[in-house]
Structure 1
Amino acid sequence: MNKVKVGVIGCGSIAKHRHLPEYAANAQVEIVAVCDIVQARADEAAQKYGSESYSSYEELLAKSEVEALSVCTPNYLHAPISIAALNAGKHVLCEKPMATSKEEAESMIKAAKEAGKKLMIAHNQRFVPAHKKAKELIESGEVGKIYSFRTAFGHPGPEAWSADGKDSWFFQKDKAFIGAMGDLGVHKTDLIRFLLGEDIVEVVGFVETSAKQNTDVDDNAVCILKSESGVIGTLAASWSYVSKEDNSTIIYGENAILRLEEDPVHSLIVQYKNGETVKYELGGIQTNESGGQTNTQVIDHFIGSIVNNTEPPVTGEEGMKSLQVVLAALESNESKKISRV
């Protein structure tokens, strides 16, 4: 079997803890190139995974036999590097948020189409066991009509997670473009779209900087979202949950309430209208806390789409729709009005 020759551009924390180990664990993959503007970081990864090391992504795209790659850079580089890679004939897995504007996202999608290559966005929440089970229950009709939801993703902030700690690009607006809403909120806009099976059409956003010093990116956001069929709910994204990560979602339906990733043991609890409660132990969600690094399945799905020539489960179009909800929240915060997506 010919292995897919893979490269990783950006060797910070997301590459180190997710992309590289998951590629290494996939029997259909050979890691052949890594790149980071901090040469020592690239060299460390290259040594660990037996690959070539680059400090320039242009050099990697030009010289290497790479067939597919992950873009794990600061947000402002997602689109330009992904487009360059697609134009160079590589399949691309891009970290979220996929871009800093709708126009950038559209350019990425166009580049993938023109190159005839896969473009997948790394929205891992779709693959969490509790989330997949909840979608099954909703789609089967067991939950009945969905009335409302609330979803949150918060932790103490990127300082403890990012390779550069307090000096991380996450806090620099020119590189990050957006803070907690882009880092965490976009995961939840994607999850809600996935669970409901429909798009968000209206957004009210309160997007603030209140917890972190010396930064002009948001660290606290609360949004009200309305779906195509009129389901309304709230989304919170925060870097100010100082003691413990919250990655929970509650779906309020006609026949049952679904509690996702709220209980440390039972990742899905279904509370039925008739008083019955069913608790599922399905395995935990990925967290940034120690010991939480289980396989996200993102890499396996990406490689599977290449090997089997199928559409990736999170396409560029899907990534763009989830990004647009975040952009609408920013617009609403500025205008103090409801934004249409």
Structure 2
Amino acid sequence: MTKLKVAVIGAGSIAKYRHLPEYKANPQTEIVAICDINEARAKEMAAHYEIKHVFTDYKELLKEDLDIVSVCLPNYLHAPVSIAASEAGCHVLVEKPMATSSEEAEAMIAAAKQAGKLLMVGHNQRFVPSHQKAKELLASGELGKVHTFRTAFGHGGPEGWSADGKDSWFFRKEEAFIGAMGDLGVHKADLIRHILGEEVVEVGAMVEQTAKENSDVDDNAICILKTESGIIGTLTASWSYKGQEDNSTIIYAEKGSIRLEDDPEYSVIINYLDGTKDKQALGKIQTNEDGGQNNSGVIDHFVTSILNGTEPLITGEEGKKSLEVILGALKSSESKQIIRLR
């Protein structure tokens, strides 16, 4: 069987710990090219993964014979590079947040459709077993109507993860566009939409920059979300959680509650009204603390979608809806108003 030819654009931490090892582990793909403006970094990854072609200009890379391009770049480059890759006839997997505006996201979606290729956004939290279990449980109606939720993603900041440490693009507004809300908040906006099976229609938020020096993007945000059926809940994103990450989601429903990634041993804990508990250890969530070494499921799903000719779980349209939640949060914080999304 001919393997799908893959190129990864960007050789920083997300490529190093997620995209490159997962493509390497997939028997149906071959990484044939890598690109980074930091040539030494690109060459280091090329040597480690036995990649033949190294580029410092993504436009030159896109002249190669490719099937898949992973876009692992600073946020402001997601749209232009993804569009160029689609126009070059490639299926595109782009990191989150997919773009810096709704208009950019629309252009990305249009470019992929025009090319007849897939566009997927790397929202890996949808593939976490505990999150899949929660979606299944709520869809079954076993816990009845959902009343409220709280979801959070907080850690000490990207300086411990990014290849450039404290000098990372994550802290520069012209490259990142948005801070903790784009890095972490968009994950949870996407997750809560997915688990509840509903769109967020209103958002109110306080988005602040209080914890990081030499940064001009947000590092703490607390949002109130309202879904189309009237479920309200909170979303927190923070780069100021010292010592231990928080990646938990708790859903409170008519007949009990579900605690996800809130216990070190049990990734799902269901508390029923009669006082009984169902504890399930479904495997660890992928976090920055573990170096991203466990398979996220993102690349395998994308490859399978391409081979089967089916839409991926997180299409461009899905990515855009999650992006619009955090764009709404920014607008709410600036205007001191509740923002209506749809």
Alignment TM-score, normalising by the size of structure 1: 0.99
- Report what 1:287 is aligned to: 287
- Report what 1:53 is aligned to: 54
- Report what 2:28 is aligned to: 28
Taking the TM superposition and a 5 Å limit, the aligned residue runs for 1:258-297 are: 258-290=258-290, 293-297=293-297
- Report what 2:309 is aligned to: 309
1:285/1:292 contact within 8 Å kept: no
Query: Equivalents in 1 of 2:61, 2:291: separation in Å?
Result: 33
- Report what 2:18 is aligned to: 18
Query: Equivalents in 2 of 1:291, 1:203: separation in Å?
Result: 32
Question: What CA deviation, in whole Å up to 9, does each residue of 1:181-236 have, x standing for no partner?
Answer: 00000000000000110100000010000100121100000000000000000000
Q: Secondary structure at the match of 2:214?
A: coil
Q: Secondary structure at the match of 1:289?
A: coil
Counterpart AA for 1:295: N
2:151/2:236 contact within 8 Å kept: yes
- Report what 2:125 is aligned to: 125
Question: What CA deviation, in whole Å up to 9, does each residue of 1:130-171 have, x standing for no partner?
Answer: 000011100000111000000000000000100000000000
Counterpart AA for 2:57: S
Taking the TM superposition and a 5 Å limit, the aligned residue runs for 1:1-341 are: 1-51=1-51, 52-62=53-63, 64-290=64-290, 293-341=293-341
Question: 1:290: how far off?
Answer: 3.3
Query: Equivalents in 2 of 1:100, 1:225: separation in Å?
Result: 20
Runs of 4+ in 1 over 4 A off after TM superposition: none
Gaps of 5+ in 2: none
Question: What CA deviation, in whole Å up to 9, does each residue of 1:86-129 have, x standing for no partner?
Answer: 00100000000000000000000000110000000000000000
Query: Equivalents in 1 of 2:232, 2:171: separation in Å?
Result: 31
Query: Equivalents in 1 of 2:3, 2:28: separation in Å?
Result: 5
State which drifts further: 174-183 or 207-216.
207-216
Question: What CA deviation, in whole Å up to 9, does each residue of 1:231-282 have, x standing for no partner?
Answer: 0000000000011000000000001100000001100000001111000010
Query: Equivalents in 1 of 2:34, 2:293: separation in Å?
Result: 21
Instruction: Indicate the RMSD between aligned Cα atoms, in angstroms.
Output: 0.7
Query: Equivalents in 1 of 2:202, 2:135: separation in Å?
Result: 22
Query: Equivalents in 2 of 1:340, 1:323: separation in Å?
Result: 14
Q: Secondary structure at the match of 1:105?
A: helix
Question: 1:291: how far off?
Answer: 5.6
Counterpart AA for 2:54: S
1:144/1:253 contact within 8 Å kept: yes
2:128/2:296 contact within 8 Å kept: yes
Q: Secondary structure at the match of 2:44?
A: helix
State which drifts further: 305-314 or 177-186.
305-314
Query: Equivalents in 1 of 2:33, 2:89: separation in Å?
Result: 16
Query: Equivalents in 2 of 1:42, 1:293: separation in Å?
Result: 20
Counterpart AA for 1:176: A
How many percent identity over aligned positions?
67
Query: Equivalents in 1 of 2:50, 2:90: separation in Å?
Result: 21
Counterpart AA for 2:35: C
Query: Equivalents in 2 of 1:81, 1:144: separation in Å?
Result: 44
Alignment TM-score, normalising by the size of structure 2: 0.99
1:193/1:200 contact within 8 Å kept: yes
Counterpart AA for 1:23: Y
Query: Equivalents in 2 of 1:127, 1:292: separation in Å?
Result: 14
Q: Secondary structure at the match of 1:210?
A: coil
Query: Equivalents in 2 of 1:144, 1:130: separation in Å?
Result: 19
1:332/1:339 contact within 8 Å kept: yes
